[in-house]
């Protein structure tokens, strides 16, 4: 009989975006590209509407189905690393938070997807609050984009690297030990700058901006790559570097798509 593989597992709890430019599909592709065994629990289904200016529709999974999927995944393997992506509703946030508490985790990476197009603003307030109190409080690492960093830090503007560090510090007050503030296309200048605040010191990551346009899947890929690297035991600062390199390669090697934005290609990154 052949030897069994020794495996590092990367687990995502996220939504489906059927065009594969965000969510669970991006996570699994990223996990695989970085040599981990990817598995996932579905929280919601997002569908793009080509006839309605590429708007989104959003349908949550029933809470008991989410609980059932988490129970199955965590019973099948000894998991210690989980990435949380789009949750989107208070019942989903509650069931994920409650089920996460059922076992210890070494790494909980929360991509704080705050609002999904197609949601009512009133509803977004409740989901933001629940996400902060129930899920972000369990995070070891969180990866806000510019807008999410403003919301979670309560700052009026984030335009400098010092602002990004300050935002990271403030966001640790919600619970996460480490924060990766993504500058992305919204950060002024010709570099894409991300800042890791690890609770003690800041590390700055820079890469030349590739073009002027947004590319779908960059945020999901960054958080998923950090997740895969942490699952392999890579130290956090190096995990963020690998993730940054993968996103840069994936944007350079992007796939052309019919919506306004192209799609990141995780396969463009070679270790």
- Applying CB under 6 A, the residues found at the interface with ligand PXL are 14-17, 22-23, 46, 85-86, 113, 219-220
Q: To the nearest whole angstrom, how small is the minimum distance from the Cβ of residue 221 to ligand PXL?
A: 10
Cβ nearer to ligand PXL, comparing 23 with 184: 23
Residues in contact with 255: Cβ distance below 8 Å, sequence separation at least 6, in sequence order:
262, 263, 264, 265
Cβ nearer to ligand PXL, comparing 16 with 241: 16
Please give the DSSP secondary-structure letter assigned to residue 255.
B
Distance CA 257, CA 254 (A): 9
Q: To the nearest whole angstrom, how small is the minimum distance from the Cβ of residue 17 to ligand PXL?
A: 4
Query: Which residue, among 57, 68, 190, has the nearest Cα to 117 in the 3D structure?
Result: 57
Cβ nearer to ligand PXL, comparing 47 with 202: 47
Residue nearest to ligand PXL (CB): 23
Cβ nearer to ligand PXL, comparing 23 with 38: 23
Buried-exposed string 141-170: b where 16+ CB fall within 10 A, e elsewhere: bbbbbbebbbbbbeeeebeebebbbbbbeb
Helix axes 218-231, 24-33, angle to 10 degrees: 50
Q: To the nearest whole angstrom, how small is the minimum distance from the Cβ of residue 113 to ligand PXL?
A: 5
Q: H helices of 77-113, where?
A: 90-100
Q: To the nearest whole angstrom, how small is the minimum distance from the Cβ of residue 16 to ligand PXL?
A: 6
Q: Indicate the SS3 state at residue 42.
A: strand
Q: To the nearest whole angstrom, how small is the minimum distance from the Cβ of residue 266 to ligand PXL?
A: 14
* 9 beta partners: 37
Cβ nearer to ligand PXL, comparing 62 with 199: 62
Distance CA 39, CA 55 (A): 28
């Amino acid at each position: 009989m052949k030897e069994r593989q020794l495996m590092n597992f990367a687990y995502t709890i996220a939504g489906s975006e059927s065009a594969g430019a965000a969510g669970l599909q991006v996570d699994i592709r990223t996990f695989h590209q970085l040599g981990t065994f990817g598995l996932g629990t579905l929280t919601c289904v997002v569908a793009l509407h080509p006839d309605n200016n590429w708007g989104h529709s959003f349908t949550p999974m029933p809470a008991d189905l989410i609980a059932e999927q988490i129970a199955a995944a965590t019973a099948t393997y000894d998991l210690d690393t989980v990435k949380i992506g789009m949750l989107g509703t208070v019942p989903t946030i509650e069931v994920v938070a409650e089920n996460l508490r059922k076992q210890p985790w070494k790494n909980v990476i929360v991509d704080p997807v705050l609002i999904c197009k197609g949601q009512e603003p009133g509803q977004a307030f409740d989901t933001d609050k629940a996400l902060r109190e129930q899920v972000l409080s369990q995070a070891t690492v969180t990866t806000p984009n510019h807008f999410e960093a403003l919301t979670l830090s309560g700052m009026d503007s984030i335009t400098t690297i010092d602002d990004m560090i300050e935002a990271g510090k403030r966001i640790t007050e919600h619970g996460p030990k480490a924060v990766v503030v993504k500058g992305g296309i919204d950060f002024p200048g010709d570099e894409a700058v991300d800042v890791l605040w690890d609770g003690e010191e800041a590390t700055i990551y820079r890469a030349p901006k590739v073009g002027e346009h947004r590319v779908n899947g960059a945020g999901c890929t960054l958080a998923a790559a950090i997740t895969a690297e942490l699952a392999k035991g890579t130290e956090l600062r190096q995990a963020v570097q690998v993730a940054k390199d993968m996103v840069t390669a994936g944007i350079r090697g992007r796939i052309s798509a019919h919506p306004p934005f192209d799609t990141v290609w995780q396969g463009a990154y070679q270790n």
